[in-house]
Amino acid sequence: MNRQVIEPGRDVLNLPVESLELKLGPSHPATHGTVRILLSLDGERIRRAEVEVGFLHRGFEKECESGLYYQAFPYTDRLNYVSPMINNVGYALACEKLFAVEVPDRCKYLRVIASEASRIADHLTCLGACALELGAFTAFLYAVEARESAWDILDEMCGARVTTNYVRIGGLAQDAGPEFPQLVRAKLADVARLLKDFDDLLLGNPIFRERMEGTGALPAAELIGLGVTGPLLRAAGVPYDIRRVQPYLVYDRLDFDVPVGTVGDNMDRFLVREEEMRQSARMIGQCLEQMSVGPVDIDDPRIRLPGKGKVFQRMEELIAQFKVVTEGPRAPVGEVYQAVEGGNGEVGFYLVSDGTGKPWKCRARSPSFSNTQAMSRMVEGALLADVIPTFDMVNMIGGECDR
């Protein structure tokens, strides 16, 4: 340390100043998802923030290109691993758009239930982690306990909590059992109860409010220019929710609210996510009421595997089974883009087909990537302490951002 001694009479206001370079991450406890933020500080003020990503890059697109269409499903789980089902659904919808097939109603309802339960899990993780990093450890535990219940729903549907691999082209891996609605309602009641406790513990807290209110805000126009979607954009007052503006599956038959904020600061983002969880629970309830018993898979042996019962007994189905597994369904030549509303914004899949069983190009448009990009603009000029709540609300998911 070379301490500068200020001589009497020297102009203290015009001393030479140099900024402090601070590397936040990649293994900082608050940079979950592994990211490095290079901060250039002037005292507590952030002059410049540069976000570095790529620590979790696994070559998603290259892997997808080298496998058959259906083999990419397990990889899509690992994009946003907090809400894996939404990626599954998005990829399946993109494939179905390419193959021009439409799934039966029951399948659509189950996909919506899966997506919304995932969204609850996603938001709970985000809000819980935010609470944790602002010092509210107990609130985090309640959120994680609630998330456990949301994951129980997924577990019951597909047999895994995170690595779901549930949706298939033209159907689902399996149907839900007769006790499923009952279980879902019980689990949602658990989530609602814990969410109430979470709110009571956290929302009114003056420390929490001071960290959240007025921090990280950007005007809506700038967010749009940066390609930010999802709760971040909605908190700034833009009601861009794909479930509303371009309903897919059965969202047009459901009654739900799209919460938007007014200021666009971290508090608004927090409240928007909270409200979205309640709306998701509402949607699941409506799905359970509206859905009826029926097939979940399309009856097209060129695309969806025939049932095991038939495969065991009949030659034609056995041949279809071999063909679909080894060659995969043949896609027509063309390209499609399909977007779904993910936990953090628009999850899009862009498929280019050359007419074979393998995608020529499989691109995942991930919301976290664009959102994280906007992060440096959000914290520039703010205090160092504002980085943490802002980063929490941006909710960068490494798997999705880095692919």
Partner 1 sequence: MAARVVTVDRKAVEQLTGVLGIPATLRGLRVTSTHFFRNLWGWIVGRPQVRTVMVPEEHDPKPAAFRGMPVLVAMDNGKERCVACGLCEWACPVDCIHIVPAETDDEVERYPLVFDIDMGRCMYCGLCEEACPEEAIVMSAKVEISAFSRAGLLWHKDQLLTPVKTLERRLEHIRNDYGRR
Partner 2 sequence: MSDRVAEEGPEGAEAGGAEANPLLRSLKERFGERILAIEAFRGDATAVLAPAALLEVATFLRDEARPAFDMLLDVTAVDFLGRRPRFEIVYHLVSTGDASRVRLKLPVEEETPSVPSLVPVWPGANWLERETFDMYGIRFDGHPDLRRIYLYDEFIGHPLRKDYPKQKRQPLIGPGSQGEAGGQGGGR
Contact 397, 81 (CB under 8 A): yes
Q: Compare residues 37 and 153 and give the one whose CB is closer to partner 1.
A: 153
Question: 316: which 2 tokens?
Answer: 């034609």
Task: Tell me the C-alpha distance between 277 and 122, whole Å.
Answer: 9
Contact 191, 120 (CB under 8 A): yes
According to CB under 8 A, which one of 156, 175, 335, 380 is a site residue for partner 2?
Answer: 335
Q: Is 23 in the site for partner 2 (CB under 8 A)?
A: no
Task: Tell me the C-alpha distance between 116 and 106, whole Å.
Answer: 15
Q: Is 322 in the site for partner 2 (CB under 8 A)?
A: no
Task: Tell me the C-alpha distance between 396 and 377, whole Å.
Answer: 15
Size of the site for partner 2 (CB under 8 A): 53
**Footprint (CB under 8 A) of partner 1, residues 273-292:** 275
Segment contacting partner 2 by CB under 8 A, of 128-136, 209-217, 277-285, 342-350? 342-350
Reduced to 3 states (helix: H, G, I; strand: E, B; else coil), residue 70 is: helix
- Contacts of residue 340, defined as CB under 8 A and 6 or more positions apart, other chains included, come to 86, 89, 90, 93, 115, 242, 248, 346, 347, 348
Contact flags string 242-271 toward partner 1, x per CB under 8 A = -xx--x---xxxxxxxxxxxxx---xx--x
Which value, in Å, is the radius of gyration of the alpha carbons in the chain?
A: 23
Task: Tell me the C-alpha distance between 267 and 203, whole Å.
Answer: 9
Segment contacting partner 1 by CB under 8 A, of 11-19, 35-43, 155-163, 214-222? 155-163
Q: Compare residues 51 and 274 and give the one whose CB is closer to partner 1.
A: 274
**Footprint (CB under 8 A) of partner 1, residues 218-247:** 235, 239, 241, 243-244, 247
98 backbone φψ class: left, alpha, beta (φ>0; ψ -120 to 50): alpha
Segment contacting partner 2 by CB under 8 A, of 139-147, 176-184, 270-278, 328-336? 328-336
**Footprint (CB under 8 A) of partner 2, residues 109-138:** none
According to CB under 8 A, which one of 133, 152, 346, 386 is a site residue for partner 2?
Answer: 346
According to CB under 8 A, which one of 44, 200, 361, 383 is a site residue for partner 2?
Answer: 361
**Footprint (CB under 8 A) of partner 1, residues 120-149:** 138, 142, 145, 148
Task: Tell me the C-alpha distance between 83 and 24, whole Å.
Answer: 26
| Least distance in angstroms from the C-beta of 188 to partner 2 | 29
According to CB under 8 A, which one of 11, 312, 315, 332 is a site residue for partner 1?
Answer: 312
According to CB under 8 A, which one of 36, 97, 185, 323 is a site residue for partner 2?
Answer: 97
Q: Compare residues 90 and 170 and give the one whose CB is closer to partner 1.
A: 170
H or E element in which residue 63 lies: helix 60-65
Contact 202, 103 (CB under 8 A): no
DSSP state letters, 351-381: EEE-SSSSEEEEEEE-HHHHHHHHHHHHHTT
Reduced to 3 states (helix: H, G, I; strand: E, B; else coil), residue 227 is: coil
Question: 157: which 2 tokens?
Answer: 């549907």
| Least distance in angstroms from the C-beta of 356 to partner 1 | 15
Residue 36, beta-bridge partner list = 52
| Least distance in angstroms from the C-beta of 142 to partner 1 | 8
| Least distance in angstroms from the C-beta of 351 to partner 2 | 10
According to CB under 8 A, which one of 120, 136, 336, 394 is a site residue for partner 2?
Answer: 336
**Footprint (CB under 8 A) of partner 2, residues 166-205:** none
Segment contacting partner 1 by CB under 8 A, of 26-34, 105-113, 317-325, 368-376? 317-325
Contact 80, 397 (CB under 8 A): yes
- Contacts of residue 325, defined as CB under 8 A and 6 or more positions apart, other chains included, come to 305
Task: Tell me the C-alpha distance between 362 and 359, whole Å.
Answer: 6
Size of the site for partner 1 (CB under 8 A): 73
Question: 175: which 2 tokens?
Answer: 């149907």
Q: Give residues in contact with partner 2 (CB under 8 A).
A: 53-54, 57, 59, 61-63, 66, 97-98, 100-102, 104, 222, 224-229, 233, 238, 240, 242, 245-246, 295, 298-300, 332-337, 339, 346, 348, 350, 352, 355, 360-361, 363, 365, 369-370, 373-374, 402-403
